[in-house]
Amino acid sequence: MRDWEALVEERLTALELEPAERAEVIAELAAHLGETCEEWRRQGMTEEEAIRRTLSQVEDWQKLTRLIQTARIKENIMTNRVKQFWLPALLTLLLSMGLLMLIQVFGPNPWLVARKSGWSLVAPVAVVYLPWLLSLPLIGAMGAYLSNRGGGSQRAAFGSIIFPVLPYLVFFVVALPVMAIFNEHLAHNIMFGALFVGLFAWVLAPGAALLAGGLLAQFFLSRRLDSRRIAGS
Amino acid sequence: MIGSGIKRGTAELAILSVLEGSPLHGYEMARRIEQQTKGALRFTLAALYPMLYRMEQRAWIRGAWETSSSGRRRRCYRITPVGKKKLSPLRREWAELFGALRRLTKVSNA
């Protein structure tokens, strides 16, 4: 008797699905081929003829792989990507930006970090909004929770947590150096200092705050999931 | 030549219609469609499963593994409430199309 699962597995090597989902597809197609072949045999065909007729159901396995892949993944990825990454990421960004604006308008004065020369501050100056920094762990935790609830991977959760600092990262790593190169009115002697101070105040410190809350939430969420699994087993 | 949109539309209608009667696994579904249409509609494995998976993604049908009395495991598909809702406008659209084609061919034959 023919091993239809081995045959289908061999022909669908390019099928990229989650292992469990892939195994399901292979088992289902193999069962279909097996039943078709049995039917031909019942009708009196020789085994070779039945197998040949059965296999003629699929003219192009590569095309079938592509069609299954598109049918099972395309719509899935779109909705999953939104649930697991884009929605939590945009919510954390929106919330952190909104909170920063509120703190800038209604909150206490920012903390200015700079070298002092007599009574005056010397550039580069870092403007740090402490209440904002303190609120970021909560926002990071929310990003982790939402991504987790949507079934997101650790990578998706990580992306959602640090998403609010990405615009600043792009600014300091790409926009500022480009401006420094093309704008001759910028004082180049303070640019490197400003770059590092800015990176610390707007990327590293907020990123660390977001990650502190987000990773802690991830840790507790995964522990809760583990305990549920243990209880369920 | 019948376009892929029309083919897909008829296939969706055929699948939803046979599943409306009872839950079926893929092989049985293909046989049932072939028998009920007296061989006019035939689904090969390559045509059937991508269609089933697409319809499942759209939540028109739902598949679940079941073990038969002979111990054979098969994935059985059921029509969902979303699929049932989709079925009546599909039937209407196809009835209109075939009605229009019938009228047209009668006129051109006259």
User: Distance from A1 to chain B by nearest Cα, in Å?
Assistant: 15
Distance CA A163, CA A128 (A): 19
User: Distance from B97 to chain A by nearest Cα, in Å?
Assistant: 27
Nearest to A153 by CA among A225, A80, A75: A80
Region of residue A44 (phi > 0: left; psi between -120 and 50: alpha; otherwise: beta)? left
For chains A and B, CB pairs below 8 A equal 59
Overall size of chain B counted in residues: 110
Domain ranges in chain A?
Answer: 4-59, 85-232
How many domains does chain B contain in total? 1
CATH code of B74's domain: 1.10.10.10
Burial class (CB in 10 A: 0-12, 13-18, 19+), A77: exposed
Q: Look at A71 and B46 and tell me if their CB atoms are within 8 Å.
A: no
pTM summary value: 0.54
Q: Point out the residue among B27, B49, B72 whose CB comes nearest to the CB of A36.
A: B27
Q: In chain B, what residues touch A37 (CB-CB under 8 Å)? A: none
Burial class (CB in 10 A: 0-12, 13-18, 19+), A187: exposed
Cα A201 to Cα A9, A92, A190, A193, A213, distances in angstroms: 53, 18, 16, 12, 18
Nearest to A32 by CA among A10, A58, A61: A58
Query: Would you give per-residue pLDDT tens digits along chain A (233 residues)?
Result: 678 999 999 999 888 888 888 999 999 999 999 999 999 999 999 999 999 999 998 999 999 999 998 888 766 666 777 888 899 999 999 999 999 999 989 888 888 776 666 666 556 667 888 899 999 999 999 999 998 877 677 888 899 999 999 988 988 888 877 877 777 766 666 667 777 888 888 899 999 999 999 999 988 887 765 565 455 44
Q: Give the tens place of pLDDT for each residue, B12-40.
A: 999 999 999 899 999 999 999 999 988 88
CB A38 within 8 A of CB B72: no
Q: Is B75 on the interface with A (CB under 8 A)?
A: yes
Map tokens 């997101």 to a residue.
A152
Q: In chain B, what residues touch A76 (CB-CB under 8 Å)? A: 57
**Paired strand residues for A217:** none
Give the domain extent around B60.
Answer: 4-109
DSSP for chain B, please give it: ---HHHHHHHHHHHHHHHHHHS-EEHHHHHHHHHHHTTTSS---HHHHHHHHHHHHHTTSEEEEEEE-TTS-EEEEEEE-HHHHHHHHHHHHHHHHHHHHHHHHHHHHH-
Cα A155 to Cα A73, A76, A78, A148, B32, distances in angstroms: 19, 18, 17, 11, 45
For residue B89, the model assigns a pLDDT of 85
Q: Look at A75 and B58 and tell me if their CB atoms are within 8 Å.
A: yes
Q: Locate B70 and state its tokens.
A: 């002979």
Could you give the ipTM of this predicted complex?
A: 0.85
Q: Point out the residue among B25, B26, B57 whose CB comes nearest to the CB of A71.
A: B57
Q: In chain B, what residues touch A72 (CB-CB under 8 Å)? A: 53, 57
Q: In chain A, what residues touch B72 (CB-CB under 8 Å)? A: 31
